[in-house]
Amino acid sequence: MQTKSGYVAIVGKPNSGKSTLLNSILGSKLSIVTPKPQTTRKRVLGIYTKDNIQIIFLDTPGVLNPRYTMQKIMMDYVNESISESDIIIALIDMGKYHKEGITEQMLELVKIANKPVIAVLNKVDLLKDRKEILPIIDNLNKLNLFTDIVPISALKDMNIDELINTISKSLPISDFYFDSEILSTQNERFFVSEMIRETIFFLTKEELPYSTEVSILEFKEREFGKWYINAEIIVERDTQKRIIIGSEGKLIKEIGERSRKKIEEHLEKNVYLELFVKVRQNWRDDSFRLKSFGY
């Protein structure tokens, strides 16, 4: 049987559902998801293989106007993913479409891509009347930018098979790039740090989660007993450190307990997780530190 394989970049505004879509397609939680925008900072590679089809998805950070060095790097990930991909998914949040539409920045990225672009209308379950989709599809068709338009709900797993079929039509004929059993090429350290960061996003407010990073210092796999993980939570100010630790260490303890449960479920191993909080002033604008954190 002739095989088809290719790279697909998932591009969209912050909080449009890119990571939820990737998780839904793979049937596994590969990308962290929170209600806050800009949760995804690095691109996450997820591999879908079925029958004679292999699709390598690139979940990218949300498209934005960068304000500091880390966000500039995040936008570099978006541009690189578009450049390296065979197909682009332009994910559009139907819950916000009437207020926000598609930004000029998003349209510009699509225009210069010069490859198949599928407009994926996400969160259609939030529309009061599904007929609202029809004039939106008509407007998008008039832009002459999209090869296909597919309405879905990533959260509800709605129309995901139709999206896969649509992607498959534009995939190049190629041998598989990866073994059919592999879901991602990223290592366990990456996923563990993301799970801790996801927990911080859920348990902290306002600017604090955006000022935090997680660095895995030690990751010891043991044949007998619990695996050992030592991680640093990086913040920018002493006041943020005090908040993360919490009164009598209550918040850092809760972050640790919740993160450990996620990590154990992911690794299918018992884990001893040790967390420390370190202050690194203005790390989001420090190119050297960002590189050390894997950006």
User: Over the stretch 256-282, which tens digit does the pLDDT of each residue have?
Assistant: 999 999 999 999 999 999 999 999 999
pLDDT band at 105 (very low <50, low <70, confident <90, very high): confident
Question: What mean pLDDT is predicted for residues 162-184?
Answer: 96
Structural domains of the chain, with CATH = 4-170 (3.40.50.300), 188-292 (3.30.300.20)
pLDDT grade for 130, boundaries at 50, 70 and 90: confident
Residue for token digits 């879908």? 48
Q: Which residues lie below 8 Å from residue 3, measured CB to CB, with a gap of 6+?
A: 52, 53, 54, 173, 174, 175, 176
Taking 80 as the threshold, does the pLDDT of residue 101 lie above it?
A: no
**Strand-strand pairing, 227-235 and 271-279:** parallel
pLDDT tens for residues 207-218? 999 999 999 999
According to DSSP, the β-strands at 44-50 and 53-59 are antiparallel
pLDDT at 40 over 90: yes
Q: How far is CA 80 from CA 8, 70, 264, in A?
A: 12, 15, 33
Stronger pLDDT, 194 or 105, i.e. the higher one: 194
Q: Locate the DSSP E strands across the chain.
A: 4-12, 44-50, 53-59, 87-93, 117-122, 148-151, 213-220, 227-235, 271-279
SS3 content of the chain, % helix, strand, coil (to 5): 40, 25, 35
**C-beta neighbour count of 90 within 10 angstroms:** 25
- H helices of 125-267, in order, are 133-142, 160-170, 188-203, 238-245, 250-267
CB 126 within 8 A of CB 93: no
What is the rounded average pLDDT for all residues in the chain? 94
pLDDT at 22 over 80: yes
